[in-house]
Chains A and B, each alone.
Chain A
Amino acid sequence: MLHVERLNGGYIGKQVLHNVSFEVGKGELVGLIGLNGAGKSTTIKHILGLLSPLSGTVKIDGETLSSSEKNYRKKVSYIPETPILYETLTLREHIELMGKAYDVDPDDLAARTKRLAKEMRMEKQLGWFPSVFSKGMRQKAMILCALVTKTPLLIVDEPFVGLDPLAIRQLLSLFDEYKQDCAILMSTHILETAERHCDRFVFLHQGVVIANGTAAQLREKYQLSPDATLDDIYVEAIASEERSS
């Protein structure tokens, strides 16, 4: 579903990503793991087309941003780390906007909104303006807006920030359901949760992919015992990378 190939990119005058390549297939939830400043958010911005790559390609379902911006963007929805909402629109109007932007059938949109709002305990807040939302509610609103679109690819940047334990559990079960027909790329620092829910992991360190695979494959790569957690694997991956450089 998502193909990132030899991606070099970053900001003006500062290259952050170096030959980043990985894939996310249909039915997969892939964890993008890395230290602060490893290049996770930059990778996501390149996939979303918010930054232009120096070289390399990003394809979603065979479509690139340059071939058709509109078709490309219709295939991806995004949950940012920091919620961005229009202060002048209620949550219901945000959802309506998403429906119009992604051409979601109005009846489907209404049904999905009803179900998701109930599951995320946000039914009461549908008519509210974001100015009265708590931090967690703002995050839930962003999640709701992204999930109603049902795009082939969902990109999630640190989704658990500000969420209560019940909401985190609910969100993970929604992700499990969402990925059945779609693909999810999730950047997170909460490795324990990632280990339980992600099918594969992409380890990013200083803008380079240092490891990519399932937990079992990564244990094998770093010669760790079968009971080694993702935490252990990650620490070993970073240590091994720093030893070799």
Chain B
Amino acid sequence: MNRFTSRLGSWMEEVVKYSRYVANGGLLFTLYFTLIYGAFVYNNFLERVDGAFPGVWIAAAVLFIMPLGHRPRTFIRDADQVFLLPELGEIRSYMIGVRLFNIAFAALRGLLVLLVLLPLLVRTESYSGVEVLAVVVTMLMLSAAGRLAKVEGVREWLILPFAFGSGVLLLIDWTLWAWVPALAPFILLHVKRNERIPLLHWLVLEEKSRAQFERVISWFVDLPTSKEEVRERRLLTRLLEKRVLRRVDASRYVYGLRILRSNDSLDLILRLTVVALIVMWMSGGWYVGFVTPLFVGLTALQLVPLFKRLEAVSIVSWLPVTRDERIEGYSWWAMRLLIAQSTVLVLASIAFGATWDAAVGFVLSITVIRYYLGRLK
């Protein structure tokens, strides 16, 4: 067994192990419910949609963003900086393995997007079977090109003009040829490919990808050691510094800043709020008000393990800040953010046609927030 297959094997073992934890967790049922609800809402939407809907514009936009946001895995470990050094020039099979794995993963991501996009396209456009195949191939190629660009250390934006080209061909009804611009990045990537493993670059990629994997897993299982991503957010920090942070105690200060800058808290709330708004827009039935507690619940559920993670490696363990004060400080922020999210979603649900269900949704949201924040203790 070569080095790549042995590492792929341990990765798969890890995935299976965590899948078992995830399958036993309560959140999975909430996710199933959300997915089924989402599918139901989307199906209703598709039944109402006609040829006037700009499906092709959405497809072009999706093609354009397809190369972005990839987190390739390289399976490089810290210890490789020492122990892999003598072999760097010789382990070509490892590099091929990493490339193929990432192409497969990117294709999978493309297929998941297509699962949602294709039903819309075939309803709004009169595509032949070959044209649908061309869209599928283009999507998969652009996704793979974006991921491979990261692996080879090529800037992602270099792939964007080709993605743009494919999108334009879709818009001018040359769908059959959309794959041609998507092929060009592979020539660029072949020219710029690494001959030896770029150890540090691949180590950073692996750490980022692993952090993302752990972040997703931590929604279901406590993973106190997982890393967080930091965003400076200078303007927001300054605003908060003047109005709130200067006056609050140590625990509210530290959690305020961490929630503000961590990818797992403020970003999570924004992401889930946007998804909730899309679900509301597509549903438009009497049940629109119930989207609020559903998504507020999902957000609250993920903020609980975040607190445990923030606690795990913490200076405050020896500072004069008791655990009760820390829980209170974190709850203070979480409560305000979740109520703000509920308020935004309730107002949006009213705009999307909710009536009495908006009020019920708000009351349910508050109950859900109180329940989950109670679990911090």
Contacts and interface: CB of A to CB of B under 8 A. Distances in A.
Interface in B252-306: 253-254, 257-258, 260-262
Contacts of A101: 250, 316, 319-321
A73 B313 contact: no
Interface in A48-91: 48-50, 69-74, 76, 78, 84-89
A84 B228 contact: no
B322 A50 contact: no
* Most B-side CB within 10 Å, residue of A71, A73, A88: A88
B232 interface: yes
Nearest to B261: A88
Nearest to A131: B230
A135 interface: no
Contact of A86 (B227, B232, B248, B315): B315
A100 B320 CA distance: 10
A102 interface: yes
B317 interface: yes
B322 A84 contact: no
A22 interface: no
A69 B254 contact: no
B284 to A, nearest CB: 39
Contact of A78 (B232, B253, B318): B318
Interface in A150-177: none
Given A84-B313, A100-B249, A48 B318 contact: yes
Interface string A78-122: 100000111111000110111011100000000000000000000
B314 interface: yes
B315 A73 contact: no
A82 to B, nearest CB: 10
Given A129-B230, A129-B232, A89 B254 contact: yes
B262 A88 contact: yes
B197 to A, nearest CB: 24
A85 B315 contact: yes
Interface string B305-338: 0000000011111111110000000000000000
Interface residues of A, number: 28
A88 B230 contact: yes
Nearest to A84: B315
A74 B320 CA distance: 5
Contacts of B261: 88
Given A100-B249, A100-B253, A73 B319 contact: yes
A79 to B, nearest CB: 11
Interface in A7-23: none
B230 A98 contact: no
A223 B257 CA distance: 57
Contacts of A49: 318
* Most B-side CB within 10 Å, residue of A93, A102, A131: A93
A105 to B, nearest CB: 14
Nearest to B254: A97
Contacts of A88: 228, 230, 257-258, 260-262
B250 A97 contact: yes
Contact of B253 (A48, A74, A87, A96): A96
A69 B318 CA distance: 10
A147 to B, nearest CB: 15
Contacts of A78: 318
B317 A50 contact: yes
A97 B246 CA distance: 10
A131 B262 CA distance: 14
Contact of A70 (B253, B254, B317, B322): B322
Given A100-B249, A129-B230, A86 B254 contact: yes
B48 to A, nearest CB: 44
Contact of B257 (A48, A72, A93): A93
A131 B257 CA distance: 16
Contacts of B313: 84
Contacts of A84: 313-315
B329 to A, nearest CB: 11
A114 B250 CA distance: 21
A93 B253 CA distance: 9
Contacts of A48: 318
A73 B335 CA distance: 28
Nearest to B316: A101
Contacts of B318: 48-50, 73, 76, 78
Nearest to B231: A88
B319 to A, nearest CB: 4
Contacts of A76: 318
A144 to B, nearest CB: 13
Interface in B82-125: none
A237 to B, nearest CB: 30
Nearest to B260: A88
Given A100-B249, A100-B253, A89 B258 contact: yes
B320 A102 contact: yes
A69 B254 CA distance: 20
A84 B316 CA distance: 10
Given A86-B315, A88-B261, A89-B254, A73 B230 contact: no
A98 B319 contact: yes
* Most B-side CB within 10 Å, residue of A49, A70, A101, A129: A101
8 contacts: A70-B322, A76-B318, A84-B314, A87-B228, A88-B228, A88-B230, A88-B262, A93-B257
Given A71-B320, A89-B254, 7 more contacts: A48-B318, A50-B317, A74-B320, A84-B315, A88-B257, A94-B315, A97-B250
Interface of A: 48-50, 69-74, 76, 78, 84-89, 93-94, 96-98, 100-102, 129, 131, 145
Q: Which 3 A-B pairs have the closest CB atoms?
A: A73-B320, A101-B250, A100-B250
